[in-house]
């Protein structure tokens, strides 16, 4: 690593760590309806409630919250599907692109509503400006807001007092506040900053060019910066252009690269602090943050080490270099963002494995906006249970007893993504329809498939891009993975929130397990590593690990 690599790492890490606590406490004020600096937008918030007929004070229990979330999400999928299929008949389509095939449109609609942003299409080569801005970018905001809303609702359930008659909050108010006070202002700032670096933002058509050597070309433009800003801030990751953040119009300079990395970790970094503020025990937030941060640091260290030692510049942009690419690959996979500034398919085997494992581990190392927190809470509940037994008390977390129901729901939230990754990969590798998509032979072919379903089930969206994923088989199976990987975690965790909300708070005593201590943090760390590791190590052995040792032996396939 040279000095600029170190500077880049330090700038991203330190500024995120400085900004996150402030953002976290700001978000706590926003969601609690307390006064905050942007409260002057309140008139606008009330206007939205008025025209949409929302009563922001209506308290929902966990079932009502879940039903609102599911109804809204499925209507969003339907509307987005219709926009994508029908873009040929809709305005703002200067390139006159026809509608997408049904399977691709369905896959893409699910992908954006589930905050995955898996892209089996290439944006500048197949989508109209309307589809991008009014379809995909809108869902970039709303899927992020939904993740945040759900996380906040679950934490409300945990934090709720004994005799409170409150529910988990109001889904519509949480959505509106997430958008209006958090995502939109940050996006506006980031979008302008990105334009200053050379990211395009235009509504005119593609520009015809004559190259220096006299060949005709067509330079793609579009309202990119506004969409790229939320793509990172909302950990969506879906590029405006096919090569995503490797494309110079999407990520033109090392500074824009830093801004994008910072943007994708900013809100996930803030969530543990938001959690600490909501449960009125800041140390709980610090503990979760530290566990996540240590896991992240190990991933960064491993990926940088492997890439600088064994990586090549294949699939990487020269302006980012190996370190800038490896760091991005880790930050985009831990956060479920899924934007890429280098092709993960061409990463060194271990760096590729770390990217894949970051997703397989579940949304726990910061994870997506909101989803990272409740993904982590599922594992916290498992850790609290085992550790609680080990100190000789029937386990409790933040004063709420962890019993069969919470354990059941948390384990469902943990099993579903793992089930999807393993079973769908096994199906794909067994069928010729699945093997047909593989681009590289040997263990790397298995890695491509494993990565695809990890990315889908983990709502990440990045890919080992060689896989030819735009087939009916992949569009449908990855679509299924994204859908269940999203709601199969959200709904059970909302159930946990609802179940804990109904429980009496047990006062802390000296015999109570403290969950804000270093000891518990270390235990949680190992629970995460061991549960994810034991689940995926066998498959990874046959993929990237085998490939790594083949590489060391000098074998080429």
Partner 1 sequence: MSTSDKSKKKGYSFTKDMLFSALGSAFRKLDPRIEAKNPVMFIVWVGTVLCTVISVVGIIQGTNASSWSFELQIIIWLWFTLIFANFAESAAEVQGKARANSLRAMRDTVVARKIGANGTIVKIPSSKLRKGDNVVCEAGDIIPGDGEVVEGVASVDESAITGESAPVIREAGGDRSGVTGGTRVLSDRIVIRITADPGAGFVDKMIAMVENATRQKTPSEIALSILLSSLSIIFLLAVTTLYPFSSFIAAESKAPNILSIIELTSLLVCLIPTTIGSLQSAIGISGVSRLMQKNVMALSGRAIEAAGDIDTLLLDKTGTITYGNRRAVEIIPVSGIDERELAAAALGASLADETPEGKSIVYFIRENYDDIQIDNQGIFVPFSASTRMSGIDRVGADGAADPLRSVRKGAFSAVQEYVLSLGGNLPKDVDGICERIAIKGGTPLVVSVGVHILGVIHLKDVVKEGIKERFARLRAMGIKTVMITGDNRLTAQAIAAESGVSDFIPEAKPETKLDAIRKAQTEGHLVGMIGDGTNDAPALAQADLGIAMASGTQTAREAGNMVDFDNDPTKVIDVVEVGKQLLITRGSLTTFSIANDVAKYFAILPAVFSGFYAGKSALSGPLEALNIMHLATSHSAILSAVIFNALIIIALVPLALRGVKYSPSHGATGILRRNLLLYGLGGIIAPFVGIKLIDMLLVAIGFA
Partner 2 sequence: MRIPAIPARIFKSVRFLFVMTILLGIVYPAVVTGIAQLIFPDKANGSLIVLDGKVRGSSLLAQRFDSPQFFHPRPSATDYTYIGAGASNQGPISAALVKTVEDRQVTWERSYGSLAPEEMLYASGSGLDPDISVDAALAQVNTVAKARGLSDYSRRALVAAINEQARASKGLIGVVRINVMKLNTLLETDPEYRGTVTRQ
Look at the alpha carbons of 432, 438, 444, 448 in this order and tell me if their dihedral is positive or negative: negative
Q: Measured between alpha carbons, how far is residue 187 from residues 130, 132, 184, 287 in Å?
A: 19, 16, 5, 29
Q: Measured between alpha carbons, how far is residue 367 from residues 254, 422, 548 in Å?
A: 24, 20, 27
Show contacts with partner 2 in window 288-327 (CB under 8 A).
310-321, 324-325
Among candidates 408, 368, 404, 374, which has minimal Cα distance to 155? 374
What does the DSSP 8-state code read for residue 208?
A: E
What is the CA angle 474-479-480, rounded to 5? 105
Show contacts with partner 2 in window 137-166 (CB under 8 A).
137-138, 141-142
Cα–chain-centroid distance for residue 73? 17
444 binds partner 2 (CB under 8 A): yes
- Residues 423-462, one symbol each (x = binds partner 1 by CB under 8 A, - = not), give x-xxx-xx----x-----xxx-xx----------------
- Residues 161-200, one symbol each (x = binds partner 2 by CB under 8 A, - = not), give -----------x--x---x----x--xx--xx--xxxxxx
Shortest distance (Å) from residue 16 CB to partner 2: 15
Q: Measured between alpha carbons, how far is residue 244 from residues 203, 258, 321, 488, 503 in Å?
A: 19, 15, 16, 28, 46
- Residues 58-97, one symbol each (x = binds partner 2 by CB under 8 A, - = not), give ---------xx--xx--xx--x------------------
Shortest distance (Å) from residue 161 CB to partner 1: 11
Half-sphere exposure of 251 (CA within 13 A, CB side): 33
- Phi and psi (nearest 5°) for 401? -65, 135
Show contacts with partner 2 in window 349-408 (CB under 8 A).
349, 352
From partner 1, partner 2, none, interface partner of 192 (C-beta below 5 to 8 A by class) = partner 2
408 binds partner 1 (CB under 8 A): yes
Shortest distance (Å) from residue 163 CB to partner 2: 30
From partner 1, partner 2, none, interface partner of 425 (C-beta below 5 to 8 A by class) = partner 1
Distance CA 413, CA 417 (A): 7
Among candidates 110, 116, 133, 121, which has minimal Cα distance to 191? 133
From partner 1, partner 2, none, interface partner of 207 (C-beta below 5 to 8 A by class) = partner 2
541 binds partner 2 (CB under 8 A): no
Shortest distance (Å) from residue 284 CB to partner 1: 14
Q: Which residue shows structure tokens 């759900």?
A: 150
- Residues 16-55, one symbol each (x = binds partner 2 by CB under 8 A, - = not), give --------------------------------x--xxxx-
Show contacts with partner 1 in window 119-178 (CB under 8 A).
162
Segment near partner 1 (CB under 8 A); pick from 250-258, 335-343, 467-475, 511-519? 511-519
Strand partners, 210: 216
From partner 1, partner 2, none, interface partner of 502 (C-beta below 5 to 8 A by class) = none
Distance CA 27, CA 369 (A): 12
Q: How far apart are the first and last CA of the chain?
A: 29
Distance CA 73, CA 67 (A): 10
422 binds partner 1 (CB under 8 A): yes
- Residues 110-129, one symbol each (x = binds partner 2 by CB under 8 A, - = not), give ------------x-xx----
């Amino acid at each position: 690593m040279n000095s600029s690599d170190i500077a880049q790492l330090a700038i991203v890490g330190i500024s995120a760590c400085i900004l996150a606590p402030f953002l976290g406490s700001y978000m706590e004020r926003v969601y609690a309806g307390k006064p905050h600096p942007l409260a002057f937008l309140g008139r606008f918030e009330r206007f939205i409630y008025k025209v949409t007929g929302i009563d922001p004070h209506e308290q929902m229990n966990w079932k009502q919250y879940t039903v609102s979330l599911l109804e809204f999400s499925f209507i969003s999928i339907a509307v987005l599907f219709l926009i994508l299929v029908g873009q040929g008949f809709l305005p703002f389509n200067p390139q006159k692109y026809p509608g997408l095939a049904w399977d691709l449109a369905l896959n893409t609609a699910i992908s954006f509503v589930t905050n995955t942003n898996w892209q089996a299409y290439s944006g500048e080569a197949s989508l109209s400006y309307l589809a991008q801005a009014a379809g995909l970018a809108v869902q970039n905001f709303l899927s992020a807001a939904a993740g945040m809303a759900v996380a906040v609702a679950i934490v409300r359930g945990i934090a709720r007092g004994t005799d409170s008659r409150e529910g988990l909050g109001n889904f519509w108010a949480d959505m509106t506040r997430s958008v209006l006070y958090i995502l939109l202002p940050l996006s506006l700032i980031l979008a302008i900053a990105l334009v200053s670096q050379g990211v395009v933002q235009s509504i005119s058509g593609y520009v015809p060019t004559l190259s220096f050597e006299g060949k005709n070309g067509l330079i793609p433009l579009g309202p990119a910066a506004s969409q790229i800003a939320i793509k990172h801030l909302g950990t969506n990751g879906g590029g405006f252009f096919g090569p995503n953040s490797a494309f110079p119009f999407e990520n033109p300079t090392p500074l824009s690269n830093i801004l994008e990395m910072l943007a994708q970790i900013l809100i996930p970094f803030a969530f543990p602090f938001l959690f600490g503020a909501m449960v009125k025990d800041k140390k709980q937030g610090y503990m979760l943050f530290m566990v996540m941060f240590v896991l992240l640091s190990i991933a960064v260290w491993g990926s940088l080490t492997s890439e600088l030692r064994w990586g090549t510049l294949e699939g990487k942009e020269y302006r980012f270099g190996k370190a800038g690419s490896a760091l991005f690959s880790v930050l985009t996979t831990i956060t479920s963002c899924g934007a890429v500034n280098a092709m993960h398919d061409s990463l060194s085997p271990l760096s590729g494995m770390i990217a894949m494992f970051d997703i397989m581990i579940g949304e726990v190392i910061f994870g997506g906006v909101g989803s990272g927190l409740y993904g982590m809470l599922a594992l916290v509940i498992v850790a609290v249970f085992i550790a609680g037994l080990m100190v000789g008390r029937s386990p409790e977390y933040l004063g709420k007893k962890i019993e069969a129901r919470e354990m059941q729901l948390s384990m469902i939230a943990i099993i579903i993504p793992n089930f999807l990754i393993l079973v769908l990969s096994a199906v794909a590798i067994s069928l010729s329809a699945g093997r047909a998509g593989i681009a590289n032979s040997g263990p790397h072919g298995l890695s491509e498939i494993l990565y695809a379903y990890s990315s889908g089930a983990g709502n990440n969206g990045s890919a080992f891009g060689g896989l030819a994923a735009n087939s009916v088989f992949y569009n449908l199976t990855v679509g299924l993975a994204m859908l269940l990987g999203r709601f199969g975690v959200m709904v059970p965790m909302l159930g946990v929130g609802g179940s804990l909300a109904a429980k009496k708070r047990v006062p802390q005593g000296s015999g109570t397990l403290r969950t804000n201590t270093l000891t518990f943090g270390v235990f949680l760390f190992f629970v995460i590593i061991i549960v994810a590791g034991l689940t995926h190590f066998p498959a990874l052995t046959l993929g990237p690990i085998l490939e790594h040792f083949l590489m060391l032996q000098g074998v080429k396939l």
